[in-house]
A and B are shown apart, each in its own frame.
Chain A
Amino acid sequence: MAAWVKGGATDADTAIEAAASLLAKARAPVIAGLSADVAAIRAAYDLAGRIGASIDTAGAAATYAELGSLSRIGAMTTTPAEAVGRADAVLVVGAAPWRSQLMKRLSALKPSRGRAAGSDRALLALGAGSEGAAATLACPAEGGLPEAIAELRAYGRGHLAGDTPRAKLAGLLADAQFGVLLYDPAEIGELGVDMLQGLAMELSETTRCFTLAIAGPDQDRAVVPVAAWLTGQAPRSGFGRRVPEHDPWRFDVARQVAAGEVDAVLWLAALPVPRPGWLASVPSVGLVAEAEANVADVVIAVGRPGRDLGGVLWNEQRAALTYWPASAPSERPSAASVLSALRDRLAEGRAASRSEPAC
C-alpha cells in the first residue's frame, strides 16, 4: 500500500496510525469529498457517526442548488433515457449541458416512444453563449438565467405578451408533447432551479414537461441517496452531538475552514475530483486514488472503483447506481477498508480513554 506521512513514504500501519492519531486529536473533524463508491460512502458515514465528524461533498454547490429548491417547492423530473426516447422539445438552459454526453444522443436520435415517437426533436437554447450552435432557436440570457427562465414562465402564464424570441420559446414548449428542460444546477444556481421547476410544473398543467439535471464530475448523486437512507437526511450533516443534524450552511466545509471551525479533515477522493484550495490549510488525511505525497499530511493511496476494484457508482447514462467491475484489478486497498480500519483504530482509542476522568 502506497502511503506518505508529511511527504515521506511509509507503510500501511504507520499511515493508518498517523491518520487515526490526527483524527483522534480533533474536536471538530470533517469528512469531505466523498468522491467514492457506495461502500466507501457508507464507511465514511459510519466513521463520521462514531467520531462525531461532519460531512460535506465535492459537488455540494450543485447538489444544494438542487436540494434547496427541492425542499422548498419540489420538482418535476425525468431521466436521460426518457428524454432521449420521448422528448420532442428540449430546452437547454445555459452553456454547460451542451458539453454533456447526453446532448450527443439527443442530437443524433429522434423520439422513439410515446406520442411524440417519430417526430423531429427541437433543440432550444437559452443563454448558451458560444455553445448551442445546433439549436433550432437560441435566446440569450443577458440578465442571467434565473431571470430569463422567469420571463418564460411569465409568457406561459400570460403575464407577458409580445412577439419576442422568448415568447416564441415559451410557445414551443407549451406546444411540445413531451418537453424537457436540461440544465446544470451548478451553472444556474438554486434560484434558477426554482424557476425551472416552476416552469415545468406550470407547463404540465396542459402538456407534459420535465426537468433533467446534468451531474457533476463527482459522486454526489451516489452520496445523496446513501446519506438519506443512512441518516434520514441530505449529505451536509454533522454528528458532533450524536444526533444527525442537517444544516447546509453550518456544515459547508469551505465556510467552516474559513471560520476556523475545523481542526482536521479527511479528504476522500477514490475517484478524482478537483482538490479544494482550503485543503492545504488544515491538518488532513487524504484517501486518494491518484496519490501524491503532498496532497495531505497523511496520504493513503486507495483503489479506484471501476478500475482497481469493483464498486457501486452513480451511472449518469442509466440515472441509477450500478456495479462497475474492476477493469484493471490491482492490490490497492479499497477506500472502505481503510475507513473501516480507521474506525476500528479510533474505537480502540476511545475505549481506552473512556476510563479517564472527564475534565
Chain B
Amino acid sequence: MLSVIRGGRVVDPTASRDTVGDVWIEDGQVVDPPGREADRVIDASGCVVMAGGVEVHSHIAGGNVITSRLLLPDLYVSEAAPDGHPFAHAGGAAAWIGSTYARMGYTTAVEPAMPPTHALGTQLELADIPLLDRGALTVMGNDDQLLQLLRERQGGNAVRDLVALSVAQSRGLGVKCINAGGASAFKDGALRLSLDDEIPVYGLTTRQIMGSLLDAVEEIGVPHPLHVHCNNLGLVGGDDSFVATLDAAEGRRIHFAHAQFYAYGAADPANPQTGGFRSAAERIAQAIADNPNATLDIGQVVFGQTVTVSLDILRQFAGRKGAKPKKWVLNAGDAEGGGVVPFLYRPRGPTSSLQWAIGLEIMLLSTDPERTILTTDHPNGGPFTQYPRIIHLLMDKAERDREIATLPGIVAERSGLPGLEREYTLSEIAQLTRSGPAKLLGLTDRGHLRAGARADVAVYRDTTDRTAMFTAAKLVLKDGVPIVEDGEVVEWRSGRTLSLTVESDRAMEKRADAYLTDRFGEGLDSFAVPNEAFDQGVENFEAVPCRA
C-alpha cells in the first residue's frame, strides 16, 4: 500500500530538510514520490514529522531492572488495562515501557547492560517489550576469563575472539564495558578504582582492559563503538576520569555513557574532598568537540524519586549510604553482578539542582548535537518519560529561566546554565534523539526520512508547549503501520530485537566451553540464546551486519 503523510513540517537533519512537505511510504519503507496517487493520505498539516526516536541507553530489561521492581514495588503506579493488552498500564512493566516510548514517538530502544551470563533472560524480557525494535549491549570487562587472557598476555586475537564469541552467544548489538575491572576489584576488597590503579589479583588496569576492548570492537567491525562507563561515576573529580579515559582511547572510536555523572569538577581544587563540585560541562563539551571519534549520551537528572541500577557494583556499594528509602541490593554476580540503590533527586535540593543544570549545560554547549545523545540513563537520572520536558527546556530559554528561578542560587554560582541563550531547533532535537543515536548504533535504516529508511515515523502537533507535543504523538508509524494515534496505542504488535551478525572462532568456542564447564559445571550451551526459546511463528531477531 502506498501512503503519504501530507503537508507536515518535515524535519530530517540528515537531508538538511526542515520544510513543509510530504513523506511517502510503501511496504514499510520511506520512498521517493512515486508519481501516482496514494492509497492512504495522512493529513499532517500543523504537525511536525520526524523519524521515530532512537534510544541508546535506557535500562529497560535485565536482572537489575527486575530487582528494582521487587525492591520498590511502589515506585510506579498501575492503571486499568486498555483493550488489547492486559498489562500495558502496569507501571514499570515491559508493555508499559514499550507503549510509553511509542506514545512519545520512539520506535527503537537499546538496553545498554546485558551480562553474557544472563543473556537469555534479558533477551526474553526485551522480546516482551511491544511496539519497539529493541537491542542490548553485551557487557565485558570484569569477567575472569577475559582478565585471565589479559593477565597471561595472550594477545589481541584471543581477546577479539572472546569478545566476538560473547556477542554472538548473547546476540548483542554492541559491546559495553562498565568500570572495567571495578567489579572484580570490589570483590577483592577495593573501594575505589581509577584508570591506572592496579586491579587486585590480575595486576591489570582499567586502561589495559578498556584498550583491549576498544581494539577488539574495531577488529570485529562492531558498528557501535565501545560503549564506556568510566571509573569514578558520580564523584567529585569525575571529569578527570572522563578526560583521562578519552585520552586513553587515543583517537579510537568511543562512546561515553551518561556523561553528566562525570561532569563534577572540584569546586575547591585545594580541597577536592570537602569543597563540593562545580559544573565541568564546558570541559566535557570541549573534550568531545576536540575528538570527532567520541560521542556521549547525557544521563540528564530530573527531580523526584527514582532508583539507580548499575552493574558498577564498586560504585553502587559506595552509593548505598545515600539510599533513599534506606534499602539497597548488591549482587556480587558472575562477572559484574549488579547494584540497585533507590535515590531521591530532591526537588530544589542544591546537589540535584546542580546535577540537573549540568546535563542541560552539556547539551547546550555541544558543537555537534549528533554526537550528544539525549538520555536520562533511565532510571538512574530519572525516568525516560521526562524526555519531553527536557526537550522543552532545551528549546525554550524562557521556560528554562522560569525553572531556574525556582532553584537555589548554586545553579548560577557553579554552573554556566543561566547564561546560555541557545535554544535548540527542531532539527537539533532530531539530531539528539533520532539521527545521532541511529548513526551511533550503526543503524542506517532509521533515524532519518530519506528514501530507503524504515517507515518508523512520528507526527507531532506543533505547539509551543513542547512537553505536551513530545509526550503524546498525534501519530506514530512502525514499519509503516500506525501504532499510536492521538497519543494512544491503536495496534499492539511486536518489533524485533536487533542482533549483530558476528562469526565466532571455533577454537575459542572450544576453549570457552572448557573454561565455563570448569567454572559453572555447564558449558557454552547453557549460555545460548536459541530461537526455540522465543514464541514460535514470530521472527524475534533481526540481523545487523558488522562493518566491512
Question: Residues on A close to B: CB < 8 A?
Answer: 38-39, 42, 45-46, 49-50, 67, 70-79, 81-82, 85-86, 105, 113-115, 117, 177-178, 204, 207-208, 210, 224-226, 228-234, 239, 241-246, 310, 312, 315, 317-323, 325
Contact = CB atoms under 8 A, between A and B. Distances in A.
Given A114-B188, A208-B332, A232-B69, A72 B93 contact: no
The A interface is mostly helix, strand or loop, or mixed, namely mixed
A234 B73 contact: yes
Interface in B172-193: 184, 186-189
B166 to A, nearest CB: 15
A228 to B, nearest CB: 4
9 contacts: A38-B533, A49-B81, A71-B72, A81-B334, A105-B521, A177-B188, A210-B331, A321-B124, A322-B526
Contacts of B90: 230-233, 243-244
B328 interface: yes
Interface in B45-75: 61, 63, 65-67, 69-73
Interface stretch (B114-122, B265-273, B398-406, B414-422): B114-122
A71 B93 contact: no
Nearest to A48: B86
Given A242-B86, A244-B87, A320-B526, 13 more contacts: A46-B86, A67-B70, A73-B327, A74-B323, A74-B327, A78-B331, A78-B333, A86-B187, A228-B66, A229-B65, A234-B70, A312-B124, A312-B533
Contact of A317 (B95, B328, B521): B521
B121 A318 contact: no
B13 interface: no
Contacts of A246: 73
A67 B329 CA distance: 12
A78 B333 CA distance: 5
B137 to A, nearest CB: 18
Given A49-B86, A70-B329, A231-B87, A319 B94 contact: no
Given A38-B124, A244-B78, A208 B117 contact: no
A318 B118 CA distance: 9
Given A77-B332, A243-B81, A323-B530, A317 B520 contact: yes
Contacts of A39: 535
B79 A42 contact: no
Q: Which size bracket describes the interface of B in this complex? A: 35 or more
A49 B67 CA distance: 22
Contacts of B329: 70, 74-77
Nearest to B91: A232
B73 A115 contact: no
Contacts of A45: 86-87
Nearest to B341: A74
Nearest to A315: B526
A85 B521 contact: no
Contacts of B144: 85, 113
Interface in B298-353: 317, 323, 327-334, 337, 340
Interface string B533-544: 101000000000
A323 B169 CA distance: 13
Nearest to B323: A74
A23 to B, nearest CB: 15
Given A81-B519, A117-B201, A230-B87, A243 B73 contact: no
Nearest to B338: A77
Residue among A74, A233, A244, A318 with the highest chain B CB neighbour number at 10 A: A74
B181 to A, nearest CB: 13
